[in-house]
Structure 1
Amino acid sequence: MENASAGLVGKPELMLEVRVELVDVEPKIWRQLEVRGSLTLDQVHQILQTAFGWEDMHLHRFTADEPFAPPLRPVDAGIPETVQWLPRQECDEPDDRPEEDLSLGQLLALGGGAAFYEYDFGDRWLHRLEMASQRPSNEDIPPARVLDGARRGPLEDSGGFPGYEEILEALADPNHPDHHEYSEWVAEITGSTKPFDPAFLDIPALNQALAAQVRAS
């Protein structure tokens, strides 16, 4: 990952400590990340995919404001469109912006220190990003790493939080009528027959994956 942020020439490079939490999910699933502020949103997308164990199978977008919150007031007697940052090839509407043209630091500034990342428009996994602190960077600091977190990310195509919650309930109860079916499905998805532990989080493994991602970029 290289410094690809526009408009930051001559400014000191900053590392941003950002808490990323899945919205409306209990128990909470979150990551505390340290990310180079000049990374563009397409790069941040890849970091979030790795940090939460997503597999980049679905569409995504970034917004400076909560995309599902009702507007505070009508605009021209209608509901204002949410400005969103998408992959350049997905920008079809007037309020769509290329994610390749905006940095994480710029997005957080637009949102007053917070922003949102939605993954999978069907399951609607909404992540809230909130900046906790910032500090100067140097060449010895990796462009992204996981500092802390809780619980593994939900499984792909699990039906949003209600569907994921239903799967976990079935897995935890051998007498549940769907226990066997979901156990087989989870084994196929994860590639492992080991019992599925939603509370498991291997931060060193995530950072190894991020480091490999950097080397490959």
Structure 2
Amino acid sequence: MIDAARLRITLHDLNPAPWRVIEVPLSMSLKNLHDAIQAAFLWQDYHLWEFEIGDKRYGMPFDDDPDMKVHKASIAKLTRLKSMKGESFLYTYDFGDNWEHRIDVLDVFEAETGARLPRFIEGEYRTPPEDVGGPHGYEMFLEAISDPSHEEHDQMLNWYGRKFDPQNIDRQTVRLWFGSLAKARPAKK
């Protein structure tokens, strides 16, 4: 058996709010959790990001700004989630658009030996396009693409480049991306 957590990740400031439930091994790093969130939401990993857990921030520290006090996400393990069942923490992606995600620790459990983790469990609603301009820009984007008489309708459709359905999360692609992250985990010793 291996220690794992079930997390519900909800994108703030949108109505309806896109959310995902994933399971992750507690042996993985916060950097690996970032990768799993990118896969769950089909983000493209173009931008900076960080986690806020309690009073600590984790991400990719800048060498030229030692006062930021950002801890390396690549070495911080998820083992601390063992004591956080029922609690939450924040993940911010793209400091320009400022996509804030609330991560709720739904459960901490022992996954079966050989479980392929991380894994996508469920979710609803599509993630906004990259660089759409944050929650306000996304709202304007949805207005424009849903109204053929909107002055920016054609421009927004051309900018995005394909059909956009805010209800469809494209589970098949999410599962494909998770398949590239998942590893069969041996029994813990």
1:42 aligns with 2:31: yes
Q: 1:149 offset after TM fit, Å?
A: 0.5
How high is the sequence identity, in percent, across the aligned residues?
Answer: 30
Cα distance in 2 for residues equivalent to 1:204 and 1:147: 12
Q: 1:210 offset after TM fit, Å?
A: 1.0
Match of 1:63 among 49, 52, 60: 52
Cα distance in 1 for residues equivalent to 2:170 and 2:148: 26
Give the aligned partner of residue 4 of structure 1.
none
Superposed CA deviations along residues 23-57 of structure 1, whole A, max 9, x for unmatched, are 12111110011111221011111111111011111
8 A contact 1:64–1:110 mirrored in 2: no
Q: 1:141 offset after TM fit, Å?
A: 1.2
Looking at secondary structure, tell me which structure has more strand per residue: 2
8 A contact 1:88–1:100 mirrored in 2: no
Secondary structure of residue in 1 paired with 2:116: coil
Question: Which segment is superposed worse, 99-108 or 27-36?
Answer: 99-108
Report the AA paired with residue 15 of structure 1.
A
Q: Which runs of 5+ in 2 are unaligned?
A: 184-189
1:130 aligns with 2:98: no
Give the aligned partner of residue 87 of structure 1.
60
Superposed CA deviations along residues 144-180 of structure 1, whole A, max 9, x for unmatched, are 1111111111110000010011001100000000000
Superposed CA deviations along residues 85-139 of structure 1, whole A, max 9, x for unmatched, are 1125568334221111212242674797311110000110001101111221233
Query: Relative to 1, partners in 2 of residues 1:162 and 1:113: Cα closer, same or farther, differing over 3 Å?
Result: same
Match of 1:25 among 14, 20, 35: 14
Give the aligned partner of residue 7 of structure 1.
none
Cα distance in 2 for residues equivalent to 1:90 and 1:53: 29
User: What CA RMSD, in Å, does the superposition of the two structures yield over aligned residues?
Assistant: 2.2
Report the TM-score, using the length of structure 2 for normalisation.
Answer: 0.87
1:199 aligns with 2:173: no
Q: 1:206 offset after TM fit, Å?
A: 1.1
Cα distance in 2 for residues equivalent to 1:110 and 1:133: 9
Give the aligned partner of residue 184 of structure 1.
158
Highest Rg: 1 or 2? 1
Aligned length: 182
Report the AA paired with residue 100 of structure 2.
L
Report the AA paired with residue 205 of structure 1.
T
Report the AA paired with residue 133 of structure 2.
G
1:116 aligns with 2:74: no
Report the AA paired with residue 58 of structure 2.
W
8 A contact 2:2–2:113 mirrored in 1: no
Query: Relative to 1, partners in 2 of residues 1:138 and 1:109: Cα closer, same or farther, differing over 3 Å?
Result: same
Q: 1:209 offset after TM fit, Å?
A: 1.3
8 A contact 1:107–1:115 mirrored in 2: no
8 A contact 2:85–2:105 mirrored in 1: no
Report the AA paired with residue 26 of structure 1.
N
Report the TM-score, using the length of structure 1 for normalisation.
Answer: 0.76
Cα distance in 2 for residues equivalent to 1:162 and 1:108: 36
